[in-house]
Amino acid sequence: MPALDPAQGNKRTAPTSRRPNVPGYNPMNWRRYWLVLGALLLLNIVITSIIESATQAPSVTIPYNVFIAQVDAGNVLNITATGDSIIGTAKAAVSAGSGQPSAKTFSTQRPTFASDNLEAALLKNKVSILAEPPNPPPPLWETLLLGFGPSLLLVFGLIYLMRRSAALAGGGAGGILGRFGQSNARLYNAERPDTTFADVAGIDEVKAELVEIVDFLKKPEKYQRLGGTVPKGVLLIGAPGTGKTLLARAVAGEAAVPFFSISAAEFIEAIVGVGAARVRDLFQKARSAAPAIVFIDELDAVGRSRSTGARLGGNEEQEQTLNQILTEMDGFDPQQGVIVLAATNRADVLDAALLRPGRFDRRVTVPFPDRRGRLEILKIHTRHIPLGPDVDLGLSASLTAGMVGADLRNLANEAALAAARRDASVVAQIDFTNALEKVELGSERKLSLSAMDRERIAYHEAGHALLGLLQPGADPVRRVSIIPRGQSLGATVQSPVDDRFNYGEDYLRGRITGALGGRAAEQLVYGVVTTGAESDLRQVTAIARQMVVRYGMSPRVGVLSLADDDNAGQSLTLSRPYSEATAAIVDEEVRRISEECLRQGVALLTSNRDKLDALVHALLEHDTLEEAAILAVTGLTAPEPVPATVS
């Protein structure tokens, strides 16, 4: 059961490298070998052509009638016939005509229609006649040179590279296969770091956790004189895009030490034992470059718990790799100055041996940034973007609740691209608004909708928006649109004034009621519902089920948590930690909550039908309405935010 995502509560959309720097590996060896091989082959062709041209006497081509005249004159000594082609030698030099070059060796072509008695003429003038097959075999030396020469070069070249690779790798694994045991870690230049803590924003508490690591790498004697040791490993835990890799590179940049970066998936190979060899190679390089940082991204690729049966195939290779990581971290000398940083978004599936003290001693959770953090992140990503005077990054930060650093970087880039498409010199607030809709919903689609379809979509979105205004404590409605984007035919955007970290039952019920606003409006106006509420119903079901099984908000189920988070992701078969009778009660309670919220939504829209119709008419006229226009059309005021409960 996924946890309730604050981001989903803050916005609602309608339904509708470089080469590895590895000791012993030099790519120039391969390039030099292929260059030498190509040069030798080219030299072979040139020498062959020179030899053939040098062994042949100067020759001229003469017409056939000139050849017959030379035979009749007794000037021909011998000829060699190959089919209809004739090559011969004359007693005196011959030429094709006046002013043409002459030579004693000549060639000509006998026409196929010739009816002369050539053989009799040749015999009469005592010309020596030799005949050769039309396709004679090449000479033996040419066959040997062209047939075996390249193969011998390849064989000797591979033998050379294998011996050199074995020598550089210390003889391990032997020959070129030893390359499999070398890690593909990227080594970033410590002299010119491209990332520092100045490039990280929105997660100040996490940066504070890592300052001690940087301080130790810069001034290890400060801690060693008091007998203290810095953690051997720091595990960064967080959702994708929260900045785990960025933080690791910032630590290396601040400490100005070598930074070895590799993904855990790169350890795994089809050959058993290669992963462990790559781990040994990586840590050996880090020790030789100490003080240094080793960063392993996506640690869960090899660090999954060995006690679970959820791993299919490659178990032996993954376990050997994991065991080697554990061994290497156990063998660290605190005086060496090598620290392991790792990142994962699945800390729940990691092996317990990785998390014990002495390996990954410190675990740092990288959270979603709050509104202040999102503002700081947007400032970083817009440093090189010319902003217009109307741009309010604070508003954009408020509208992007639930977004992580990677999302905000993409948002800033999309806003710049939107401004470029309209040939603007600066990025305006409308560009950020359009970019946000594109990121969340997709690109605008040009659909030919009928008047009836547009009206249904308008009522659906107006139902969402109006219930957002009528319910106390609901998140403010920022925008409503009936422009099709991505898979949706319209959108209603809500976001809170401040981020919420705790949710009351009334707020969750209001979320469900608002999500059912489109279905309630269709039911009220047309008496027939459509498929447009598909994503709304998924959201409603998820919230209502979590209220029952996770938050204890059902009187029949009681104050119990029935969510089985401890075994999440560790079993191939879904199991519920409660009986079938309890499951039936859970289903009934989920249905009860959703139906009560739907009835409440229909009642609110019924008593405010005039406001619903006015909002629909405005939408059909303008397609998109901002918050101020929505309040003006309906005559309502934004509801006062209800403080989140504190437990």
Yes or no: say if 540 and 516 are a contact pair by the CB < 8 Å rule: yes
Determine the structural domain holding residue 146 and report its residue range. 27-51+140-180
Task: Return the CATH number at 295.
Answer: 3.40.50.300
**22 is a domain residue:** no
**358 is a domain residue:** yes
CA distances from 528 to 25, 453, 523, 531, 602 (A): 70, 13, 6, 10, 13
Q: Which of 441, 461, 491 is the last residue of a domain?
A: 441
Checking if the pLDDT of 354 tops 80, the result is yes
**196 is a domain residue:** no
Task: Return the CATH number at 405.
Answer: 1.10.8.60
Distance CA 644, CA 359 (A): 39
Distance CA 45, CA 83 (A): 28
Q: Tell me: the pLDDT tens digits for 466-522?
A: 998 888 878 888 889 888 887 788 888 887 777 777 888 888 999 999 999 999 999
Distance CA 492, CA 396 (A): 16
Checking if the pLDDT of 646 tops 60, the result is no
**Range in 6-20, 154-168, 333-347, 409-423 the model is least confident about:** 6-20
Distance CA 230, CA 213 (A): 7
- Do both 154 and 125 map to the same domain? no
**646 is a domain residue:** no
147 vs 94: which has the higher pLDDT: 94
- Do both 263 and 358 map to the same domain? yes
Q: What angle do CA 289, 236, 503 make, to 5 degrees?
A: 165
Yes or no: say if 382 and 412 are a contact pair by the CB < 8 Å rule: yes
**393 is a domain residue:** yes
Yes or no: say if 60 and 103 are a contact pair by the CB < 8 Å rule: yes
**Range in 81-95, 409-423, 426-440 the model is least confident about:** 81-95
Distance CA 635, CA 626 (A): 14
pTM for the structure as a whole: 0.64
- Do both 362 and 379 map to the same domain? no
Checking if the pLDDT of 281 tops 70, the result is yes
pLDDT given for residue 222 in this prediction: 80
pLDDT given for residue 305 in this prediction: 79
Is 440 part of the annotated catalytic residue set?
Answer: no
Checking if the pLDDT of 13 tops 70, the result is no
Beta-bridged to residue 488, according to DSSP, are 485
**640 is a domain residue:** no
Checking if the pLDDT of 302 tops 50, the result is yes
Pairing mode, if any, of strands 233-238 and 338-344?
parallel
CA distances from 55 to 48, 49, 51, 138, 224 (A): 11, 10, 6, 15, 82
- Do both 358 and 249 map to the same domain? yes
Task: Return the CATH number at 84.
Answer: 3.30.720.210
**377 is a domain residue:** yes
pLDDT given for residue 399 in this prediction: 84
Average pLDDT score over residue span 101-120: 79
Closest CA to 506 of 11, 12, 9: 9
Confidence band, pLDDT 50/70/90 cuts, at residue 39: confident
How many structural domains is the chain composed of? Answer: 5
- Do both 464 and 601 map to the same domain? yes
Checking if the pLDDT of 16 tops 80, the result is no
Q: 264 is written with which tokens?
A: 């855990």
Q: Considering the candidates 461, 534, 580, 640, report the single residue annotated as catalytic.
A: 461
Checking if the pLDDT of 567 tops 60, the result is no
Average pLDDT score over residue span 411-424: 92
Distance CA 134, CA 478 (A): 88
Helices (H), 18-139: 27-55, 64-72, 118-124
**639 is a domain residue:** no
Q: Which of 366, 387, 416 is the last residue of a domain?
A: 366
**Range in 85-89, 192-196, 292-296, 606-610 the model is least confident about:** 192-196
**Range in 131-135, 234-238, 295-299 the model is least confident about:** 131-135
- Do both 33 and 176 map to the same domain? yes
Q: Which of 366, 391, 411 is the last residue of a domain?
A: 366
